[in-house]
Chains A and B, each alone.
Chain A
Amino acid sequence: MELTRRSFLKVSTGAFLLSSLGLNLEPAKAYATGLRTKGAKEITTICPYCSVGCSIIVSVRDGKVINTEGDPDSPINEGALCPKGASIYQMANNPYRVTEPMYRAPGENQWKKITWEEALNKIARLVKKTRDKYFITKNEKGQIVNRVDAIAHVGSAALDVEECYILQKLMRSWGLVYIEHQARI
């Protein structure tokens, strides 16, 4: 381009006006040093919350979850996630998450930590006690029913088919009839 006096004035006035507006004419500096997840290992998983089963990409660095977001390759969610799914990062990184069994005794207002052994024994004892007390062998018509109406079971949408099968077996063996699932409530 030939630089005439006129075009020189045009360009330089324009540049002056732009700089007076505060527009930075130098190459803009990067917002951050780079992408937070650059070089991290990406693993796909299924959202554990509801039964839609959205796919999530989990970025892992040094064995720590550093980011989670929807998987665009999934035909189910196409990269989108609901607020619960979008918060899945907190499943791994959350100081408020309960990681040990907690027990609140009747009448108490405080939770206390107990061991898994204590917790399982307590649950087993309570199940046994309730089942022994309320087990019904025959109904009013005298038919054999062998059931427990005093215990109910609520399953989670995060359970897979195999887990549901085992739970169903266990609950039926106790004589439970109130076996429900979170997705139906």
Chain B
Amino acid sequence: MARKGLLITPDLCIGCRACQVACKEWNQLPASKTKNNGTHENPPDLDANNFNRLKFIEYADQKGIKWLFVSHRCMHCGEPACVQICPVGALIKDKDTGIVYYDKNKCIACHACKSACPFDIPRYDQGGKGKIAKCHLCIDRVRAGLIPACAKTCPTGAIKYGDRDALIKEAKAKKYKLYGETELGGLGVVFALTESPKVYKLAENPRISESVAFWGSVLRTLVGRGDSATSSFIKYLAKKSNE
């Protein structure tokens, strides 16, 4: 299987947020109670029950005001920092599709991945204290030949799923500026933009800290031991790597 990906075209998005609903429906995630914070953007942040979220951006320039909708989720990096730092191999990059998914049974809730991620994606269950929860690009569906829930439901084609190379070619043919084509080994989620990435609140030149590989190897060495004192030490170190 060729590397799979999403192509997100904010210009086609109407901000209906069916992607958020479909994601919750497929992944059986409960609702979170939220407050109206003065914008249509809701929920206010990603969490263990919200794997994707639509950013509403009001942007003004000389030409006037633009209202931009940007679908936001795990970028499924080509060189995922979370996979590099995870001491127990709970975060996994799928060899066939390039999808970065996870195994909750392996996760030890050390939260090292949060510090490694350049896009601030990993969230944790049990009110932020438990195990990893994030977008896994519906890898269960993908392996069964279905397309991810968000891309399936999108009524305007703002979220498209397919072979990454084909999606990039298609966006280039339409003269879009691409974000994610080369960043961090090429992101699995590629954006087709008409303005600079900054306008869409996408991280410019995302980088993985050089210490990620170091912390990863330190943590992995300790995991071999497996007594409770070591595991709390791992959590302490993981916290330290956050700083």
Residues of A within 8 A of B (CB): 20-24, 27-32, 34-36, 38, 67-70, 77, 79-83, 85-87, 89
How many residue-residue contacts, CB under 8 A, span A and B? 89
Chain B nearest CB: distance from A62 CB in Å? 16
Contacts of B85 in A (CB 8 A): 22
> 1/0 contact trace for B133-158 toward A, CB 8 Å?
00010011101101001001111000
Residues of B within 8 A of A (CB): 16-18, 20-22, 25-26, 28, 79, 83-86, 89, 92-95, 101-103, 136, 139-141, 143-144, 146, 149, 152-155, 213, 216-217, 220
Chain A nearest CB: distance from B134 CB in Å? 12
Pairwise interchain contact B140-A86, C-beta atoms closer than 8 A? no
Q: Which of B28, B95, B140 contacts A34 (CB 8 A)?
A: B140
Q: Given A22-B89, A28-B94, A79-B153, list of 4 further CB < 8 A pairs?
A: A21-B84, A22-B216, A31-B101, A80-B155
Pairwise interchain contact A77-B155, C-beta atoms closer than 8 A? yes
Q: Which DSSP category, helix, strand, loop or mixed, fits chain A's interface?
A: loop
Chain A nearest CB: distance from B2 CB in Å? 17
Contacts of A28 in B (CB 8 A): 92-95
Pairwise interchain contact B92-A24, C-beta atoms closer than 8 A? yes
Contacts of B144 in A (CB 8 A): 34-35, 38
Q: What would 20 A/B residue contacts be, using CB atoms closer than 8 Å?
A: A22-B89, A23-B83, A23-B93, A24-B83, A24-B92, A31-B143, A32-B140, A34-B140, A34-B144, A35-B140, A35-B144, A67-B25, A69-B26, A77-B155, A80-B153, A81-B18, A81-B155, A82-B155, A83-B20, A86-B18
Chain A nearest CB: distance from B79 CB in Å? 8
Q: Nearest A residue to B149 by beta-carbon distance?
A: A69
Pairwise interchain contact A36-B140, C-beta atoms closer than 8 A? yes
Q: Nearest B residue to A21 by beta-carbon distance?
A: B84
Whether A31 touches B25, Cβ cut-off 8 Å, given contacts A70-B153, A85-B18, is no
Chain A nearest CB: distance from B17 CB in Å? 5
Chain B nearest CB: distance from A120 CB in Å? 33
